[in-house]
Every structure is written in C-alpha cells, then in structure tokens.
Amino acid sequence: MPVRLATTESDFAARFAAFLATKRETAEDVEQVVRAIIADVAARGDAALIDYSRRFDRIDLETLGIRVPQAEIDAALGAVDAETLTALELARDRIAAYHQRQLPKDDRWRDALGVELGYRWTPVEAAGLYVPGGTAAYPSSVLMNAVPAKVAGVPRLVVTVPAPGGVLNPLVLAAAKLAGVDEVHRVGGAQAIAALAYGTETIRPVAKIVGPGNAFVAAAKRLVFGRVGIDMIAGPSEVLILADRHGNPDWIAADLLAQAEHDPSAQSILITDDASLIDAVAAAVERQLKTLSRAEAAGASWRDYGALILVRDFEEAIPLADRIAAEHLEIATEDAEALAARITNAGAIFLGHHTPEAVGDYVAGSNHVLPTARSARFSSGLGVLDFMKRTSLLRCDAEALRALGPAAIALGRAEGLDAHARSVAIRLNPDHA
C-alpha cells in the first residue's frame, strides 16, 4: 500500500526525509561491458555494429543493411491509421509552435567605452536521437526529441533504434518521418551510442546525443559525454498532485495511475489538506486498477512508491513540493496560479482540474522530456537550447583597448600571468615586445 504521511505527526520530518531518500532504481553495473563495446565500435565500425546486432538483437544487418531505406520509412507512414496520423500531425505541429517561441535571440551592442560585445546562437552540426526498442518505443517521444532539434535548425538529425528480431515499430518510423529526421539506423544499445559518438562507415558521428534508454544506453551516454554532448540521464517518471476538497477523486486517481502505468519504478504522490479526499482517491485507485491493461506495472508502482500526504494547509505544501521537485506537478486547488508561483522546483506544472498530465505528454506542445529524480532542482525539460550553443563575440578597436587594457594588465600581473598582461601591453605600447 502507498505510504500515508501527515504533517501533524510528530515524526513527519523524519518520515518525509526517508520517503524522499527512497531509491527507485538499482543501477546495474554495466560499465565494463559498455566500455568494451564502445572501444570495439570505435575500432571496427560497421563490422562491430553487425556483430553486436546479431548477438543482442538476433538480426543480420549485413544482409538487411544498417540504415533503414527511405521506402521502408515511407511505407510505415502510409500504413498508419487515419486517427493516429491526424493525432501525430497535430502533436508535431503543436510541439513545433511551442518550441519556436524558445528560439533564443542573438545580441550585439557597443558599450560606453566603445567595446563591442555580444553573443550568437547556432545549432549543433548534427544530433543523434536514441529510440529504445520494445515496449518503451513511443512515437510521441520521437516527436518530443526530434521536433525541437529541427526547430533549432540542426541540419542532420539521426535516429538509432534497435530492431530485435528484425521488427521496427512502424509508428516510430512514421513519427521520425513526420518530424523531419534525416537518417534512421536499425541499431540499438551501447553500440548505437558508440556509433553516434565515434562514427562508423555508415553512421557519421554527431555532436549531441539525446533520448532515453536502458542501463547499457545510459552507461554509454555517460562514457561518451565530453566527446559529444548528452541530454540528461532519464530516471523513472513521477507525478505530484496538489488537490483540495474540490478535487475529483476519480480524476485524481486516473492521473496517479497514468503515471504509475509507465513502470513499476514510477512514482505518484498526492498532497492534500482534505483527509477525506485521501480515502476517496485511495479507493478510486483500487477500483480503476481492476480495469487497467497495465494493472501489473501500475499496481506495483502505486503499492511500492505511491504516497498520500495530508497537510494542514497549502502553505505547508510549498516547501514539500520544492523538496520533491517533481517531474510533473498538477495543481488542482482553489488558487492554483498563486500556489504555482510560489513553487520553484518542478519540470512542468499542470494547472486546474481540466489539465491531466497526459495532454502534456502528447499534444499540448510543451516537451514531455522532463527532469526526474529531483533533478528539477537544477535542470529543465528538453528544449531548443539543448540543440544549440552560444558563442560570445568581442571586438575592441585601438581606442576601446586603451580604455579597457590597463585593468586587464593589472589583473594579469596580479594573477602572475605575465604573457596575458603582455598581450595587451604590447598593443598599447610597442616597447613591451
């Protein structure tokens, strides 16, 4: 059964701290294996990809080819039923519209001393998107990762996706096509990450790798970080719902279960000031679980990691919410806006009774790749900036350097960096050569 806490209990602080510290994942130690795979792909290229795919995915890429032909991608799109296709197109267009507004502006100015300053944003030259195989191969995740890259202007966007037994999810191919992905390669695991980082004959290297994956993929991303950029390492999903006595127990239960069905390690938390809502929601969850296709995962998540927390008032809830730093925060209270304004740690906030988190997962337009495991304290959801980098710009003319130079010389000397000082002094007074 989910844990029940109340701030009125004398040991609440300790129980809440213990709840926060609960580990929901056991990190498999796969680093040595992954390190060897990466070195092998870096050394042998396509031949290594063919070997690993034969072993891990039971697929002969020597015959089938590593790159998925355009005709196969087109056929997958053609086979999508009309309702799903319309929904995917709506999602694609709304994600694009939302992320367009994130495009950063360049800046350039001349200050009072005549120094020209500024910065400029440019897209990375190529990005790789890892798409997991199996049950976690979601077309919505393809859109959420690929569309912001294309909005950023990334000229080359590469998808790698394992095809165990030769099978690719046609919805993943369709989403890749809709998002404007340039290449799809049927390779997965640490070997796919290695190929994206080091390049092979078929897969040219990229500058940035994004997308979720299993323990091998996560370890590979950590190991290639530095050679290429990576996004966050995604953990199991979580939702925190703040609701008062106006909350609808059935709706809240449905939202808690929508999170829980992802994974037995997912986490769903309700904080309320209404003791009777806690009982009503707990009962609704049990009722809804009975008719849920993924009842096993959802039930395990709710039983092992679910929480029902009673507070005296929402003033008490604010610091708790900031400590939980939830990936998804739903606020269904009387003055949801005012409460939202005072909580700073959350990946995304869903306001009011009619905003189930699932609309954000699919079609609202905001990104569903969000910081998990309390990392909303210091990181943000995926966005356009993840596919861009900023270059600062600086220009002095002789006069500006005369104004600024003496201070640079003073600091260079104070730090014992005489060549720094000289590089300025030599321009102000040729005798300094």
Q: Is 365 in the site for its own copies (CB under 8 A)?
A: yes
Sequence-distant (≥ 6) Cβ neighbours of residue 240 within 8 angstroms: 269, 270, 271, 321, 324, 326, 328, 329, 330, 346
Active site (annotated) includes residue 353:
no
Nearer to its own copies, 310 or 349 (CB): 349
Dist. CA 383–CA 367, nearest whole Å? 7
Pairing relationship of beta strands 348-351 and 328-332 according to DSSP bridges: parallel
Question: Is 214 marked within a binding site?
Answer: yes
Query: b/e string for 250-260 if b means 16 or more Cβ within 10 A?
Result: ebbbbbbbbbb
- Residue 263 within binding range of its own copies, rule CB under 8 A: no
Q: Does 171 bind its own copies (CB under 8 A)?
A: yes
Residue 142 exposed, middle or buried by CB count within 10 Å (0-12, 13-18, 19+): buried
Q: What strand order describes the sheet that includes 183-185?
A: 183-185, 157-160, 127-130, 208-210, 229-230
- The answer to whether 272 and 247 are in contact (CB under 8 A) is yes
Question: Which of residues 126 and 278 has its CB atom nearest to its own copies in the complex?
Answer: 126
Q: Identify which of residues 123 and 236 has a Cβ nearer to its own copies in the complex.
A: 123
Interacting residues with its own copies between 207 and 226 (CB under 8 A): 207-208, 226
**Binding residues for its own copies restricted to 381-420, rule: CB under 8 A:** 381, 383, 385, 389-398, 400-401, 404-408, 410-412, 414-420
Using CB under 8 A as the binding rule, whether residue 100 contacts its own copies is answered as no
User: Does 433 help bind its own copies (rule: CB under 8 A)?
Assistant: yes
- Is residue 328 marked as binding? yes
Among 16, 216, 305, 350, binds its own copies (CB under 8 A): 350
The one-letter code for the residue type at 265 is S
Confirm or reject binding of residue 11 to its own copies (CB under 8 A): no
* Cα separation, 201 vs 218, whole angstroms: 24
Give the interface segment with its own copies, choosing from 60-68, 90-98, 196-204, 306-314 (CB under 8 A).
90-98
CA–CA separation, 194 and 307 (whole Å): 39
Considering the rule CB under 8 A, would residue 131 count as an interface residue with its own copies? no
By the rule CB under 8 A, 322 interacts with its own copies:
yes
Task: Cite the active site residues.
Answer: 327-328
Binding site feature residues for Zn(2+): 259, 262, 361, 420
